[in-house]
Structure 1
Protein backbone atom coordinates (compact mmCIF):
# COMPACT_ATOMS: atom_id res chain seq x y z
CA UNK A 1 0.00 0.00 0.00
CA UNK A 2 2.79 2.39 0.91
CA UNK A 3 4.37 2.35 -2.53
CA UNK A 4 1.16 3.26 -4.33
CA UNK A 5 1.21 6.89 -3.16
CA UNK A 6 4.97 7.42 -3.55
CA UNK A 7 5.63 8.63 0.00
CA UNK A 8 8.62 10.71 1.00
CA UNK A 9 10.37 11.29 4.31
CA UNK A 10 11.33 14.93 4.91
CA UNK A 11 14.33 15.66 7.13
CA UNK A 12 14.64 19.28 8.28
CA UNK A 13 17.76 20.19 10.26
CA UNK A 14 20.26 23.05 9.94
CA UNK A 15 23.15 20.79 11.03
CA UNK A 16 24.29 19.21 7.77
CA UNK A 17 26.05 16.29 9.50
CA UNK A 18 22.97 15.38 11.53
CA UNK A 19 20.69 15.84 8.54
CA UNK A 20 22.80 13.65 6.27
CA UNK A 21 23.20 11.00 8.97
CA UNK A 22 19.44 10.75 9.54
CA UNK A 23 18.77 10.72 5.81
CA UNK A 24 21.36 7.98 5.29
CA UNK A 25 19.79 5.79 7.99
CA UNK A 26 16.35 6.22 6.45
CA UNK A 27 17.56 5.56 2.90
CA UNK A 28 19.09 2.32 4.15
CA UNK A 29 15.55 1.34 5.14
CA UNK A 30 14.34 1.95 1.60
CA UNK A 31 12.72 5.37 1.93
CA UNK A 32 12.87 8.21 -0.53
CA UNK A 33 14.26 11.07 1.57
CA UNK A 34 14.40 14.79 0.91
CA UNK A 35 16.66 16.99 3.02
CA UNK A 36 15.96 20.60 3.95
CA UNK A 37 18.40 22.96 5.68
CA UNK A 38 15.71 25.17 7.18
CA UNK A 39 11.97 25.53 7.74
CA UNK A 40 11.85 28.16 5.00
CA UNK A 41 13.59 25.77 2.60
CA UNK A 42 11.01 23.12 3.43
CA UNK A 43 8.04 25.44 2.89
CA UNK A 44 9.44 26.56 -0.44
CA UNK A 45 10.28 23.15 -1.90
CA UNK A 46 8.09 20.49 -0.28
CA UNK A 47 5.29 18.83 -2.22
CA UNK A 48 2.27 18.87 0.14
CA UNK A 49 0.39 16.31 -1.94
CA UNK A 50 2.85 13.51 -1.21
CA UNK A 51 2.29 11.48 1.95
CA UNK A 52 5.07 10.48 4.31
CA UNK A 53 6.38 12.07 7.48
CA UNK A 54 8.52 14.91 8.74
CA UNK A 55 11.63 14.44 10.89
CA UNK A 56 12.09 17.91 12.32
CA UNK A 57 14.68 19.69 14.45
CA UNK A 58 13.45 22.09 17.15
CA UNK A 59 16.09 24.81 17.22
CA UNK A 60 17.15 26.24 13.86
CA UNK A 61 18.16 29.69 12.61
CA UNK A 62 15.15 31.65 11.42
CA UNK A 63 11.90 29.74 11.83
CA UNK A 64 12.06 27.11 14.58
CA UNK A 65 10.62 23.63 14.34
CA UNK A 66 7.72 24.63 16.58
CA UNK A 67 6.96 27.63 14.38
CA UNK A 68 7.00 25.41 11.30
CA UNK A 69 4.63 23.00 13.03
CA UNK A 70 2.23 25.88 13.67
CA UNK A 71 2.37 26.95 10.01
CA UNK A 72 1.58 23.40 8.90
CA UNK A 73 -1.26 23.22 11.42
CA UNK A 74 -2.80 26.40 10.03
CA UNK A 75 -2.45 24.95 6.53
CA UNK A 76 -4.32 21.86 7.76
CA UNK A 77 -1.44 19.60 6.74
CA UNK A 78 -1.76 16.09 8.12
CA UNK A 79 1.86 14.98 7.65
CA UNK A 80 2.98 13.46 11.00
CA UNK A 81 5.94 15.11 12.71
CA UNK A 82 8.69 13.36 14.64
CA UNK A 83 10.61 16.03 16.55
CA UNK A 84 14.28 15.38 17.26
CA UNK A 85 16.13 17.79 19.53
CA UNK A 86 19.57 18.12 21.02
CA UNK A 87 18.12 19.92 24.01
CA UNK A 88 16.01 18.42 26.78
CA UNK A 89 13.38 21.14 26.59
CA UNK A 90 10.32 19.81 28.42
CA UNK A 91 8.25 22.93 27.72
CA UNK A 92 8.87 22.63 23.98
CA UNK A 93 8.05 18.91 24.07
CA UNK A 94 4.73 19.52 25.79
CA UNK A 95 3.83 22.26 23.33
CA UNK A 96 4.77 20.14 20.31
CA UNK A 97 2.73 17.17 21.50
CA UNK A 98 -0.28 19.32 22.37
CA UNK A 99 -0.22 20.64 18.81
CA UNK A 100 -0.34 17.13 17.42
CA UNK A 101 3.27 16.02 16.99
CA UNK A 102 3.71 12.26 16.75
CA UNK A 103 6.62 12.25 19.19
CA UNK A 104 9.44 14.31 20.65
CA UNK A 105 12.79 12.56 21.05
CA UNK A 106 16.22 13.66 22.16
CA UNK A 107 19.07 13.38 19.61
CA UNK A 108 20.87 11.31 18.63
CA UNK A 109 18.15 8.73 18.12
CA UNK A 110 18.97 5.04 17.89
CA UNK A 111 19.01 4.16 14.14
CA UNK A 112 16.70 1.16 14.57
CA UNK A 113 14.24 3.25 16.58
CA UNK A 114 14.31 6.00 13.95
CA UNK A 115 13.63 3.53 11.15
CA UNK A 116 10.85 1.85 13.11
CA UNK A 117 9.20 5.16 14.00
CA UNK A 118 9.30 6.41 10.43
CA UNK A 119 7.86 3.14 9.12
CA UNK A 120 4.88 3.45 11.42
CA UNK A 121 4.34 7.12 10.68
CA UNK A 122 4.53 6.78 6.90
CA UNK A 123 2.27 3.74 6.89
CA UNK A 124 -0.27 5.59 9.01
CA UNK A 125 -0.15 8.69 6.80
CA UNK A 126 -0.55 6.71 3.59
CA UNK A 127 -3.61 4.98 5.06
CA UNK A 128 -4.98 8.33 6.21
CA UNK A 129 -4.50 9.89 2.76
CA UNK A 130 -6.23 6.95 1.08
CA UNK A 131 -9.14 7.18 3.49
CA UNK A 132 -9.47 10.94 3.07
CA UNK A 133 -9.36 10.56 -0.70
CA UNK A 134 -12.09 7.94 -0.59
CA UNK A 135 -14.25 10.07 1.68
CA UNK A 136 -13.85 13.05 -0.64
CA UNK A 137 -14.94 10.92 -3.60
CA UNK A 138 -18.02 9.75 -1.67
CA UNK A 139 -18.82 13.33 -0.65
CA UNK A 140 -18.73 14.37 -4.31
CA UNK A 141 -21.24 11.65 -5.07
CA UNK A 142 -23.42 12.80 -2.18
CA UNK A 143 -23.23 16.39 -3.42
CA UNK A 144 -24.61 15.24 -6.78
CA UNK A 145 -27.95 14.48 -5.05
CA UNK A 146 -30.71 17.06 -4.80
CA UNK A 147 -31.74 18.24 -1.34
CA UNK A 148 -34.84 16.03 -1.47
CA UNK A 149 -32.80 13.03 -2.56
CA UNK A 150 -30.40 13.57 0.34
CA UNK A 151 -33.29 13.55 2.81
CA UNK A 152 -34.86 10.45 1.30
CA UNK A 153 -31.46 8.73 1.16
CA UNK A 154 -31.10 9.01 4.93
CA UNK A 155 -34.66 7.89 5.54
CA UNK A 156 -34.20 4.82 3.33
CA UNK A 157 -30.91 4.06 5.08
CA UNK A 158 -32.77 4.00 8.39
CA UNK A 159 -35.16 1.40 6.96
CA UNK A 160 -38.17 3.60 6.16
CA UNK A 161 -40.50 2.34 3.41
CA UNK A 162 -41.62 4.52 0.50
CA UNK A 163 -45.16 4.78 1.87
CA UNK A 164 -43.97 6.07 5.24
CA UNK A 165 -41.52 8.47 3.63
CA UNK A 166 -44.34 9.87 1.47
CA UNK A 167 -46.46 10.49 4.58
CA UNK A 168 -43.60 12.10 6.52
CA UNK A 169 -42.65 14.40 3.64
CA UNK A 170 -46.22 15.08 2.48
CA UNK A 171 -45.53 13.93 -1.08
CA UNK A 172 -46.89 11.09 -3.17
CA UNK A 173 -45.50 7.59 -2.90
CA UNK A 174 -44.72 7.64 -6.61
CA UNK A 175 -42.64 10.79 -6.13
CA UNK A 176 -40.71 9.04 -3.39
CA UNK A 177 -40.07 6.07 -5.66
CA UNK A 178 -38.84 8.39 -8.40
CA UNK A 179 -36.42 10.09 -6.00
CA UNK A 180 -35.24 6.71 -4.72
CA UNK A 181 -34.60 5.52 -8.25
CA UNK A 182 -32.66 8.67 -9.09
CA UNK A 183 -30.49 8.63 -5.97
CA UNK A 184 -29.65 4.94 -6.18
CA UNK A 185 -28.68 5.43 -9.83
CA UNK A 186 -26.41 8.38 -8.97
CA UNK A 187 -24.75 6.56 -6.10
CA UNK A 188 -24.60 3.15 -7.73
CA UNK A 189 -26.18 1.63 -4.62
CA UNK A 190 -29.42 -0.33 -4.21
CA UNK A 191 -30.12 -1.62 -0.75
CA UNK A 192 -30.77 0.25 2.48
CA UNK A 193 -27.72 -1.49 3.96
CA UNK A 194 -25.48 -0.11 1.19
CA UNK A 195 -26.92 3.37 1.64
CA UNK A 196 -26.38 3.19 5.41
CA UNK A 197 -22.74 2.18 4.91
CA UNK A 198 -22.27 4.98 2.36
CA UNK A 199 -23.61 7.58 4.79
CA UNK A 200 -21.53 6.17 7.63
CA UNK A 201 -18.38 6.62 5.59
CA UNK A 202 -19.09 10.25 4.70
CA UNK A 203 -20.26 11.15 8.21
CA UNK A 204 -17.52 9.40 10.15
CA UNK A 205 -14.88 11.86 11.44
CA UNK A 206 -11.30 11.05 10.50
CA UNK A 207 -8.58 11.37 13.13
CA UNK A 208 -5.76 13.32 11.49
CA UNK A 209 -3.14 13.17 14.25
CA UNK A 210 -1.16 10.18 15.39
CA UNK A 211 1.22 9.75 18.30
CA UNK A 212 3.71 6.95 18.65
CA UNK A 213 5.76 5.73 21.57
CA UNK A 214 9.39 5.60 20.56
CA UNK A 215 11.95 3.97 22.78
CA UNK A 216 14.94 6.23 22.31
CA UNK A 217 18.21 6.07 24.16
CA UNK A 218 19.48 9.37 25.51
CA UNK A 219 23.09 10.15 24.93
CA UNK A 220 24.39 12.85 27.21
Structure 2
Protein backbone atom coordinates (compact mmCIF):
# COMPACT_ATOMS: atom_id res chain seq x y z
CA UNK A 1 0.00 0.00 0.00
CA UNK A 2 2.90 2.35 -0.57
CA UNK A 3 4.41 4.34 -3.39
CA UNK A 4 8.11 4.90 -3.82
CA UNK A 5 7.97 8.11 -1.79
CA UNK A 6 5.00 8.28 0.57
CA UNK A 7 2.42 6.06 2.19
CA UNK A 8 -1.12 6.76 0.97
CA UNK A 9 -3.54 8.90 2.95
CA UNK A 10 -7.30 8.35 3.08
CA UNK A 11 -9.18 11.64 3.36
CA UNK A 12 -12.75 11.73 4.66
CA UNK A 13 -15.03 14.77 4.46
CA UNK A 14 -18.35 14.55 6.32
CA UNK A 15 -20.21 16.99 8.56
CA UNK A 16 -21.33 14.05 10.74
CA UNK A 17 -18.59 13.71 13.37
CA UNK A 18 -19.85 10.30 14.50
CA UNK A 19 -19.55 9.06 10.93
CA UNK A 20 -16.00 10.38 10.75
CA UNK A 21 -15.07 8.64 13.99
CA UNK A 22 -16.44 5.36 12.64
CA UNK A 23 -14.57 5.76 9.37
CA UNK A 24 -11.31 6.57 11.14
CA UNK A 25 -11.65 3.53 13.37
CA UNK A 26 -12.40 1.21 10.45
CA UNK A 27 -9.65 2.51 8.18
CA UNK A 28 -6.92 2.94 10.79
CA UNK A 29 -7.72 -0.55 12.03
CA UNK A 30 -6.73 -1.80 8.58
CA UNK A 31 -3.46 0.13 8.68
CA UNK A 32 -4.43 3.17 6.62
CA UNK A 33 -3.38 6.71 7.50
CA UNK A 34 -6.53 8.83 7.79
CA UNK A 35 -7.26 12.57 7.73
CA UNK A 36 -10.81 13.57 8.71
CA UNK A 37 -12.45 16.90 7.90
CA UNK A 38 -15.88 18.16 8.94
CA UNK A 39 -16.04 20.79 6.17
CA UNK A 40 -14.91 21.01 2.57
CA UNK A 41 -13.07 24.22 3.41
CA UNK A 42 -10.91 22.41 5.97
CA UNK A 43 -10.09 19.80 3.36
CA UNK A 44 -9.02 22.33 0.73
CA UNK A 45 -7.04 24.43 3.21
CA UNK A 46 -5.22 21.65 5.05
CA UNK A 47 -4.85 18.73 2.66
CA UNK A 48 -1.76 18.13 0.55
CA UNK A 49 -2.94 16.63 -2.76
CA UNK A 50 0.58 15.57 -3.70
CA UNK A 51 0.29 12.71 -1.21
CA UNK A 52 -1.36 9.69 -2.86
CA UNK A 53 -4.57 8.14 -1.61
CA UNK A 54 -8.27 8.83 -2.10
CA UNK A 55 -11.17 10.88 -0.75
CA UNK A 56 -14.32 9.56 0.94
CA UNK A 57 -16.84 12.35 0.43
CA UNK A 58 -20.31 12.98 1.82
CA UNK A 59 -22.87 14.16 -0.72
CA UNK A 60 -24.85 16.65 1.37
CA UNK A 61 -23.10 19.01 3.76
CA UNK A 62 -24.13 22.42 5.15
CA UNK A 63 -21.36 24.46 3.53
CA UNK A 64 -21.15 22.87 0.09
CA UNK A 65 -22.40 19.77 -1.71
CA UNK A 66 -20.19 16.81 -2.53
CA UNK A 67 -20.74 17.43 -6.25
CA UNK A 68 -19.50 20.99 -5.81
CA UNK A 69 -16.41 19.68 -4.02
CA UNK A 70 -15.84 17.30 -6.93
CA UNK A 71 -16.13 20.19 -9.40
CA UNK A 72 -13.77 22.38 -7.37
CA UNK A 73 -11.21 19.59 -7.23
CA UNK A 74 -11.29 19.42 -11.02
CA UNK A 75 -10.73 23.18 -11.22
CA UNK A 76 -7.71 22.88 -8.95
CA UNK A 77 -6.31 19.87 -10.77
CA UNK A 78 -6.74 17.56 -7.77
CA UNK A 79 -7.03 14.07 -9.19
CA UNK A 80 -7.59 12.02 -6.02
CA UNK A 81 -10.14 9.24 -6.63
CA UNK A 82 -13.46 10.11 -4.96
CA UNK A 83 -15.68 7.63 -3.14
CA UNK A 84 -19.09 9.15 -2.44
CA UNK A 85 -20.58 7.79 0.77
CA UNK A 86 -24.05 9.15 1.50
CA UNK A 87 -27.46 8.45 2.95
CA UNK A 88 -29.16 10.84 0.51
CA UNK A 89 -28.25 9.46 -2.89
CA UNK A 90 -30.44 8.74 -5.88
CA UNK A 91 -29.78 7.06 -9.21
CA UNK A 92 -29.45 10.27 -11.24
CA UNK A 93 -26.99 11.76 -8.77
CA UNK A 94 -24.97 8.55 -8.66
CA UNK A 95 -24.78 8.38 -12.45
CA UNK A 96 -23.74 12.03 -12.65
CA UNK A 97 -21.03 11.59 -10.00
CA UNK A 98 -19.59 8.49 -11.68
CA UNK A 99 -19.64 10.06 -15.14
CA UNK A 100 -17.89 13.10 -13.67
CA UNK A 101 -15.08 10.83 -12.55
CA UNK A 102 -16.00 9.48 -9.12
CA UNK A 103 -14.57 6.06 -8.35
CA UNK A 104 -17.67 4.79 -6.54
CA UNK A 105 -20.99 5.93 -5.07
CA UNK A 106 -21.95 4.01 -1.92
CA UNK A 107 -25.10 4.23 0.18
CA UNK A 108 -25.00 4.47 3.97
CA UNK A 109 -24.87 2.19 5.82
CA UNK A 110 -22.21 0.49 3.71
CA UNK A 111 -20.76 -2.92 4.42
CA UNK A 112 -17.24 -2.42 5.87
CA UNK A 113 -15.71 -5.00 3.54
CA UNK A 114 -17.16 -3.27 0.50
CA UNK A 115 -15.83 0.11 1.60
CA UNK A 116 -12.38 -1.29 2.37
CA UNK A 117 -12.24 -3.02 -1.02
CA UNK A 118 -13.23 0.21 -2.76
CA UNK A 119 -10.64 2.20 -0.81
CA UNK A 120 -7.87 -0.26 -1.68
CA UNK A 121 -8.82 -0.19 -5.37
CA UNK A 122 -8.98 3.61 -5.40
CA UNK A 123 -5.61 4.01 -3.72
CA UNK A 124 -3.99 1.57 -6.13
CA UNK A 125 -5.47 3.49 -9.05
CA UNK A 126 -4.09 6.76 -7.70
CA UNK A 127 -0.64 5.30 -7.07
CA UNK A 128 -0.55 3.78 -10.56
CA UNK A 129 -1.54 7.08 -12.20
CA UNK A 130 1.24 8.91 -10.35
CA UNK A 131 3.82 6.35 -11.42
CA UNK A 132 2.68 6.54 -15.05
CA UNK A 133 1.98 10.21 -15.90
CA UNK A 134 -0.24 11.22 -18.81
CA UNK A 135 1.54 11.41 -22.17
CA UNK A 136 0.38 14.93 -23.06
CA UNK A 137 1.78 14.89 -26.58
CA UNK A 138 0.01 11.62 -27.42
CA UNK A 139 -3.35 12.80 -26.11
CA UNK A 140 -3.02 16.19 -27.81
CA UNK A 141 -2.35 14.32 -31.06
CA UNK A 142 -5.43 12.14 -30.58
CA UNK A 143 -7.59 15.13 -29.71
CA UNK A 144 -6.35 16.90 -32.82
CA UNK A 145 -7.95 14.19 -34.98
CA UNK A 146 -11.43 15.13 -33.80
CA UNK A 147 -13.83 17.32 -35.75
CA UNK A 148 -15.09 20.53 -34.15
CA UNK A 149 -18.38 18.86 -33.23
CA UNK A 150 -16.63 15.82 -31.78
CA UNK A 151 -14.47 18.08 -29.62
CA UNK A 152 -17.53 19.88 -28.29
CA UNK A 153 -19.18 16.59 -27.38
CA UNK A 154 -16.08 15.03 -25.81
CA UNK A 155 -15.46 18.11 -23.66
CA UNK A 156 -18.96 17.75 -22.24
CA UNK A 157 -18.81 13.95 -21.99
CA UNK A 158 -15.56 14.20 -20.03
CA UNK A 159 -17.40 16.37 -17.50
CA UNK A 160 -20.01 13.69 -16.96
CA UNK A 161 -22.91 14.88 -19.10
CA UNK A 162 -25.29 12.27 -20.48
CA UNK A 163 -26.06 12.16 -24.21
CA UNK A 164 -29.44 13.80 -23.68
CA UNK A 165 -27.84 16.63 -21.67
CA UNK A 166 -25.21 17.18 -24.36
CA UNK A 167 -27.92 17.20 -27.02
CA UNK A 168 -29.89 19.83 -25.11
CA UNK A 169 -26.83 22.01 -24.52
CA UNK A 170 -25.71 21.89 -28.17
CA UNK A 171 -29.26 22.02 -29.61
CA UNK A 172 -28.81 18.81 -31.60
CA UNK A 173 -30.51 15.42 -31.49
CA UNK A 174 -29.47 12.72 -29.04
CA UNK A 175 -28.84 10.40 -31.99
CA UNK A 176 -26.40 12.94 -33.46
CA UNK A 177 -24.56 13.03 -30.14
CA UNK A 178 -24.33 9.23 -30.09
CA UNK A 179 -22.88 9.09 -33.60
CA UNK A 180 -20.26 11.77 -32.98
CA UNK A 181 -19.40 10.39 -29.55
CA UNK A 182 -18.74 6.89 -30.92
CA UNK A 183 -16.63 8.34 -33.72
CA UNK A 184 -14.61 10.39 -31.22
CA UNK A 185 -14.11 7.35 -28.98
CA UNK A 186 -12.62 5.44 -31.93
CA UNK A 187 -10.23 8.28 -32.75
CA UNK A 188 -9.21 8.67 -29.10
CA UNK A 189 -8.91 4.88 -28.65
CA UNK A 190 -11.19 4.82 -25.61
CA UNK A 191 -14.23 2.69 -24.84
CA UNK A 192 -16.08 4.52 -22.07
CA UNK A 193 -16.29 7.75 -20.09
CA UNK A 194 -13.86 6.56 -17.42
CA UNK A 195 -11.12 6.26 -20.06
CA UNK A 196 -11.58 9.95 -20.87
CA UNK A 197 -9.81 10.83 -17.60
CA UNK A 198 -6.64 12.05 -19.39
CA UNK A 199 -8.80 14.33 -21.54
CA UNK A 200 -10.39 15.79 -18.41
CA UNK A 201 -6.99 16.45 -16.85
CA UNK A 202 -5.58 18.08 -19.99
CA UNK A 203 -8.67 20.25 -20.42
CA UNK A 204 -8.16 21.48 -16.86
CA UNK A 205 -4.54 22.27 -17.72
CA UNK A 206 -5.65 24.23 -20.80
CA UNK A 207 -3.81 21.85 -23.13
CA UNK A 208 -6.70 21.01 -25.45
CA UNK A 209 -8.02 24.41 -26.46
CA UNK A 210 -10.77 26.58 -25.04
CA UNK A 211 -13.30 25.18 -22.63
CA UNK A 212 -16.88 26.38 -22.29
CA UNK A 213 -16.79 26.83 -18.53
CA UNK A 214 -19.75 24.53 -17.86
CA UNK A 215 -20.10 23.42 -14.26
CA UNK A 216 -22.55 20.92 -12.75
CA UNK A 217 -25.51 22.31 -10.82
CA UNK A 218 -25.32 22.46 -7.04
CA UNK A 219 -26.32 19.26 -5.31
Q: Same fold per TM (> 0.5)?
A: yes
Q: Which consecutive residues of structure 1, in runs of 5 or more, have no partner in the other structure?
A: 140-203, 210-220
1:67, 1:34 → 2: CA distance? 20
SS at match of 1:60: coil
The answer (yes or no) to whether the contact 1:78–1:208 under 8 Å persists in 2 is no
The corresponding residue for 1:146 is: none
The corresponding residue for 2:2 is: 2
The corresponding residue for 1:42 is: 43
SS at match of 1:2: coil
1:79 Cα deviation from its structure 2 partner? 0.6
Q: 1:40-119 alignment to 2 at 5 Å?
A: 40-119=41-120
After superposition, what is the alpha-carbon deviation per residue over 1:40-68, rounded to whole angstroms, capped at 9, x for unaligned? 11011110111100000000011111100
1:120, 1:207 → 2: CA distance? 19
Shift of the 40–124 alpha-carbon distance from structure 1 to 2, 3 Å rule, reads: same
The answer (yes or no) to whether the contact 1:82–1:103 under 8 Å persists in 2 is yes
1:55, 1:129 → 2: CA distance? 19
- Superposed CA RMSD in Å reads 2.3
Q: Provide TM-score, normalisation by structure 1.
A: 0.59
Q: 1:1-220 alignment to 2 at 5 Å?
A: 2-4=2-4, 5-132=6-133, 208=197
The answer (yes or no) to whether the contact 2:59–2:89 under 8 Å persists in 1 is no
The corresponding residue for 1:165 is: none
SS at match of 1:11: strand
1:3 Cα deviation from its structure 2 partner? 4.3
Q: Which runs of 4+ in 1 moved over 3 A?
A: 204-209
Q: How many residues align?
A: 142
SS at match of 2:56: strand
2:74, 2:89 → 1: CA distance? 24
1:207 Cα deviation from its structure 2 partner? 6.1
Q: Provide TM-score, normalisation by structure 2.
A: 0.60
SS at match of 1:91: helix
After superposition, what is the alpha-carbon deviation per residue over 1:128-160, rounded to whole angstroms, capped at 9, x for unaligned? 111118x69xx9xxxxxxxxxxxxxxxxxxxxx
Q: Which consecutive residues of structure 2, in runs of 5 or more, have no partner in the other structure?
A: 138-188, 199-219
1:113 Cα deviation from its structure 2 partner? 1.0
SS at match of 1:74: helix
Q: Which has the larger radius of gyration?
A: 1
